[in-house]
């Protein structure tokens, strides 16, 4: 049985529902926040109204997660394109962070060397020449060691040959 009071309540509920739907649509077009509080405030209803009408709350959440392009927008923005943009931005951020670390290390080394030279206790100016001389002397030491090993092998061979000859002479006599 319908009474005028029930009819009035249903009509009021329908008006509120219409205002909420309109507020969601306007919020999407104007790029304003799509939250339960903001929509309830814009529609002139209580937040609990949205929670009592789950279909309206679901419509609000759907609208919040699926952005629609504005009137002057270019191609449609989809969730997949936004996720791709986010992945690209994260990758670029990681590359830039690595570059910043590398540049900080280089700057730190350069400033450290400059401070070392400015302090007066740094390496002498001819350090490069000394490094080259050390490298040459190390190479010379390797060559002399190899020559010594060859001479030692020749000496051992000569001693062995000398022993063999001495034995052969002693056995004849």
C-alpha separations of 73 from 77, 79, 81, 106 in Å: 9, 16, 15, 44
pLDDT at 116: 80
- Collect the ranges in the chain with pLDDT lower than 70: 1, 67-75, 122-125
pLDDT at 111: 92
pLDDT at 115: 85
Q: Distance (Å, rounded) from C-alpha 148 to C-alpha 142? A: 10
34: left (phi over 0), alpha (psi -120 to 50) or beta: beta
Q: Distance (Å, rounded) from C-alpha 94 to C-alpha 88? A: 10
Model pLDDT for residues 155-165, shown as the tens digit of each residue: 999 999 999 99
pLDDT at 124: 62
The per-residue DSSP string of 87-116 comes to HHHHHHHHHHHHHHHHHHHHHHHHHHHHHH
Tokens matching residue 119: 């302090």
pLDDT at 150: 95
Lookup result for tokens 């001389």: 133
118 φ, ψ (degrees, to nearest 5) = -70, -25
pLDDT at 88: 93
């Amino acid at each position: 049985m319908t009474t005028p009071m029930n009819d009035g309540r249903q009509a009021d509920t329908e008006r509120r529902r219409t205002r909420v739907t309109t507020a969601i649509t306007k919020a999407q077009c104007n790029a304003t926040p799509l939250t339960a509080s903001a929509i309830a405030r814009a529609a002139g209803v209580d937040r609990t109204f949205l929670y009592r009408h789950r279909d309206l709350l679901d419509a609000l959440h759907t609208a919040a997660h699926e952005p629609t392009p504005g009137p002057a927008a270019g191609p449609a923005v989809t969730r997949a394109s936004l996720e791709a943009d986010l992945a690209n931005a994260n990758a670029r951020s990681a590359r830039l962070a690595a570059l910043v670390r590398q540049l900080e290390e280089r700057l730190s080394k350069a400033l450290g060397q400059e401070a070392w030279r400015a302090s007066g206790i740094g390496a002498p100016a001819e350090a490069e020449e000394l490094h080259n001389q050390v490298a040459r002397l190390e190479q010379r030491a390797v060559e002399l060691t190899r020559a010594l090993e060859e001479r030692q092998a020749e000496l051992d061979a000569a001693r062995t040959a000398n022993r063999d000859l001495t034995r052969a002479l002693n056995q004849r006599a």
